[in-house]
Structure 1
Amino acid sequence: MSFRDETEEGRNDLRRPFLHTGSWYRMGSRQSSMLESSQVIRDSSISVLACVLIVALGPIQFGFTCGYSSPTQAAITKDLGLTVSEYSVFGSLSNVGAMVGAIASGQIAEYIGRKGSLMIAAIPNIIGWLSISFAKDTSFLYMGRLLEGFGVGIISYTVPVYIAEIAPQNMRGALGSVNQLSVTIGIMLAYLLGLFVPWRILAVLGVLPCTLLIPGLFFIPESPRWLAKMGLTDDFETSLQVLRGFDTDITVEVNEIKRSVASSSKRSAIRFVDLKRRRYYFPLMVGIGLLVLQQLGGINGVLFYSSTIFESAGVTSSNAATFGVGAVQVVATAVATWLVDKSGRRLLLMISSIGMTISLVIVAVAFYLKEFVSPDSNMYNILSMVSVVGVVAMVIACSLGMGPIPWLIMSEILPVNIKGLAGSIATLANWFVSWLVTMTANMLLAWSSGGTFTLYALVCGFTVVFVSLWVPETKGKTLEEIQALFR
């Protein structure tokens, strides 16, 4: 073999996925000498649903990280002697880590594949949880929280993109919504387990999702669209065949993906001036806009304040009430998962935004009126209950659309040749605004509770306009057909 051949072979190796799928499932494409083995594998081929359920362990980890700080605050501050401000730093560090992870997420997923990216995200998550469980002071506590956040930042981009790229067009909405459903399940589990186990044991339990995710990644195929983009044609067709079933004719889908990749390869070098073209700026505006508006609507601020609202309404166990809110989120998100491929993305976003606006207006009015009512009066108690109803209604409305669908649409509409960079920017924007809302919620609520919920209501009102004017319907379209909408 000549030096030139060795060099060329080395270059081809660099284009291989970081986490290559095991060769066992490729047997189905071999010749008749393997016919009997092929038949066994054909009968037990991996379904898209199984792949989604495995990668859904990532968002469950995401939700568990978000929910962990709520039921553990009293115990951690007591055991480690933390001040309120020190614990606030601990809670916010996951957002800081997630912003760093978000910056890297797109490029990592582009260079080493979606599965390799999830593997890289899982490792710091495991180390982070172990660091928290053995923490004796703030140094290990803070380091663990940062590592968790970094992993979650990568997961929050990679999982919705992977699901969108493997799902058939008629199931992509429901399967894509599994991402947010898994996040809410993770939050609910953290709330529930936090009622019964000590904070160190809860941290150890936080290791489980990613510990199960790592071996699971070896049993699912890489994204066929990423393989096609990297020029790995054989792997791409095999991966797609596994996802669709060995008896399914994938010729049409293969040709669509090849055409899309060939078209995007001609424009692989994107200059800043190119972003002025509608095919790039419009999906960027929609993707980033939805993810920013999702957070500016104040869902994190409302959830953060929910325990205080419950206390003011006379609820004796705020932790149990918080778990109740988590359970409501799961149920409402499950309903959205069932509806999204039937009713479409736009309709659910509109209903969700309108519902959030009305709910927040109700909460704001209740707080304004409470300023003019005696705390000992029946009217004060009624207004407190109205506040609780408004908060729960807001959580339900958000879970029906603005919770799951912005991540789904982001994964669907970003152009293939800028998806890594654009996805990183969109995910970073979401985490930064989430951190901003969480950090400012206390100050705003101290200024005026009614005013705070009024501001959130105005943002949700603008979201209704944004969705009606600019968000396209992607239901029932292939990713390649969605890209054609912007040309």
Structure 2
Amino acid sequence: MEAHGRRLTLQIASIPLIVGWFLIGFSKDYTMLLIGRFVAGLSTGLTAATGQVLVGEITQPHLRGILCSLPFASYSFGILLVYVFGYFLQWRYVAILSAVLPILSLTLFFFLPESPIWLIRQERIEEAKQALTWLRDGDVSTAKKEASQIMERMDADQKKESMNNVWKTLLQPEVLKPFIIMNVFNLLQILSGTYLVVFYAVDILKQIKSLSFDHFLAAVWTAIARFIFTILAIILLGVVGRRSLALSSGIGTSITALFFASFEYLSCQQGEYFAAFSILLYVAINTVGFMILPGVLIGELFPAKIRGFAGGLTFMIFHFAMFVSAKIFPLIKQTIGVYGVFCMFGISSILASIFLYLMLPETKGKSLGDIEDYFQQKNILWVTRKKKDCSES
């Protein structure tokens, strides 16, 4: 995305996803199924950072939180869609239907502009102004003003970052501090169960002693809860600060996870509906903050000079950690049981809340330049910041 732009990268990313879904849908054996899954997985790696970086770069500060969280509404809706299709249809039909959306995405990107920030870094100034004019609904004066601010910002930094010094740039305080925040948050988010519950929803629900109804239907209900509360999170991001949302989600996730773990440990067989409600509440609270915030912050925390590289590296580490956790999770679940798993989720959520309270800056309403200036301060903890320079919203 640094060499060829955010838009073209996303278009290229649609191709393996289309091919992968068709390979899965028409697979004749297990090997072809794995090949299809691998090819589709390439697209996930290509789109994860690129989409968030693009949205973060093209939006105005007061809309950035809402628009950066919209991909997670799509993600939640996709989970719901596949769960519902999987409940009613044979899995091959679900795979083939899933190819429709990347085909639509590939087509629509021909009509959308490239990131103005990337264009200016490539010294394509007129194209950047045209893109900004389109993005700002034809307001030429606003587009010119914003383009000038971006150029001034880039003049203060090096205009080009070669691969020879990109690792040195990564060690600069304004890059290293957000890099640490993002990767620790991502790791604790995974351990809090955000994605493990998505991957193993049916398997987890089958092992809950107090649940006796259709586990596939129960998984559909968790997807419905996730989608509804993603929409709620998008609304909240317009009025609530990132820190408040993160801490509320972390504390709430911890309470609900530990409460359910205690309930399951005591083997309360008569509380079927209470157990179901606890699971849905856990999914809902976790979604509101922990699921959406890392993606939002990817587009906000990293400085423009290395946003693409740092964002891509962060998502690479995230996906590797998620891969490892997904592979060892069945063994962990078998060893410590469902109640032990939810204890792990709850403890991880507490640790994440403490970490975010100490480290995460408030970025709501701040320009990307303001956020970069904050990370250039000497402080490491948010609580020791210079409040006159970077106060909370």
Match of 1:120 among 12, 22, 40: 12
**Paired position in structure 1 for 2:244:** 347
**Paired position in structure 2 for 1:169:** 61
* Equivalent residue runs for 1:161-240 within 5 Å: 161-240=53-132
Match of 2:185 among 290, 304, 307: 290
* Equivalent residue runs for 1:100-119 within 5 Å: 109-119=1-11
**Paired position in structure 1 for 2:290:** 402
- d(CA) in 2 for partners of 1:275 and 1:237? 29
Any conservation in 1 of the 2:53–2:307 contact (CA below 8 Å)? no
SS in 2 for 1:401: helix
Give the drift of 1:452. 2.3
Which AA in structure 2 matches 1:188? L
Give the drift of 1:276. 4.5
- d(CA) in 2 for partners of 1:409 and 1:446? 34
Any conservation in 2 of the 1:224–1:239 contact (CA below 8 Å)? yes
Q: 1:9-54, CA deviations, whole angstroms, 9 ceiling, x for partnerless residues?
A: xxxxxxxxxxxxxxxxxxxxxxxxxxxxxxxxxxxxxxxxxxxxxx
After TM superposition, the score normalised by the length of structure 1 is 0.73
**Paired position in structure 1 for 2:389:** none
SS in 2 for 1:474: coil
SS in 2 for 1:342: coil
Match of 1:443 among 300, 316, 331: 331
Any conservation in 2 of the 1:173–1:408 contact (CA below 8 Å)? yes
Any conservation in 1 of the 2:186–2:318 contact (CA below 8 Å)? yes
Give the drift of 1:390. 2.5
SS in 2 for 1:482: helix
**Paired position in structure 2 for 1:476:** 365
SS in 1 for 2:195: helix
**Paired position in structure 2 for 1:462:** 351
Q: 1:224-261, CA deviations, whole angstroms, 9 ceiling, x for partnerless residues?
A: 11111111101011100110022352233122111122
After TM superposition, the score normalised by the length of structure 2 is 0.89
Give the drift of 1:264. 2.7
**Paired position in structure 1 for 2:22:** 130
- d(CA) in 1 for partners of 2:197 and 2:95? 25
Identity %: 28
- d(CA) in 2 for partners of 1:114 and 1:132? 28
**Paired position in structure 2 for 1:40:** none
Give the drift of 1:440. 2.0
Q: Which runs of 5+ in 1 are unaligned?
A: 1-108, 371-378
Q: 1:367-425, CA deviations, whole angstroms, 9 ceiling, x for partnerless residues?
A: 3222xxxxxxxx4222x544433321111011111111111101111122222221122
Greater CA deviation, 282-291 or 169-178? 282-291
* Equivalent residue runs for 1:303-452 within 5 Å: 303-308=198-203, 310-311=205-206, 312-370=209-267, 379-382=268-271, 384-449=272-337, 450-452=339-341
- d(CA) in 1 for partners of 2:159 and 2:83? 50
Match of 2:150 among 257, 262, 272: 257
Any conservation in 2 of the 1:309–1:388 contact (CA below 8 Å)? no
Give the drift of 1:305. 4.7
Give the drift of 1:280. 2.0
- d(CA) in 2 for partners of 1:272 and 1:157? 18
Measured at CA, do residues 172 and 220 of structure 1 come closer, stay the same or move farther in structure 2, by a change above 3 Å? same
Give the drift of 1:319. 1.3
Q: Which runs of 5+ in 2 are unaligned?
A: 377-393
Greater CA deviation, 422-431 or 270-279? 270-279
SS in 1 for 2:238: helix
Measured at CA, do residues 230 and 266 of structure 1 come closer, stay the same or move farther in structure 2, by a change above 3 Å? closer
Q: 1:454-474, CA deviations, whole angstroms, 9 ceiling, x for partnerless residues?
A: 222111101111111111111
Match of 1:268 among 154, 157, 161: 161
Match of 2:197 among 302, 316, 319: 302
Measured at CA, do residues 179 and 121 of structure 1 come closer, stay the same or move farther in structure 2, by a change above 3 Å? same
- d(CA) in 1 for partners of 2:327 and 2:270? 29
Which AA in structure 2 matches 1:285? I
Greater CA deviation, 429-438 or 145-154? 429-438
- d(CA) in 2 for partners of 1:115 and 1:275? 24
Any conservation in 1 of the 2:254–2:349 contact (CA below 8 Å)? yes
Give the drift of 1:262. 1.8
**Paired position in structure 1 for 2:379:** none
Any conservation in 1 of the 2:116–2:129 contact (CA below 8 Å)? yes
Measured at CA, do residues 275 and 310 of structure 1 come closer, stay the same or move farther in structure 2, by a change above 3 Å? closer
Any conservation in 2 of the 1:351–1:401 contact (CA below 8 Å)? yes
Give the drift of 1:176. 0.7
- d(CA) in 1 for partners of 2:56 and 2:340? 39
Q: 1:416-454, CA deviations, whole angstroms, 9 ceiling, x for partnerless residues?
A: 222222112210121122222222221112112232222
- d(CA) in 1 for partners of 2:103 and 2:159? 40
**Higher Cα Rg, which structure:** 1
Any conservation in 1 of the 2:258–2:343 contact (CA below 8 Å)? yes
Matched length: 370
Any conservation in 1 of the 2:50–2:308 contact (CA below 8 Å)? no
SS in 2 for 1:195: helix
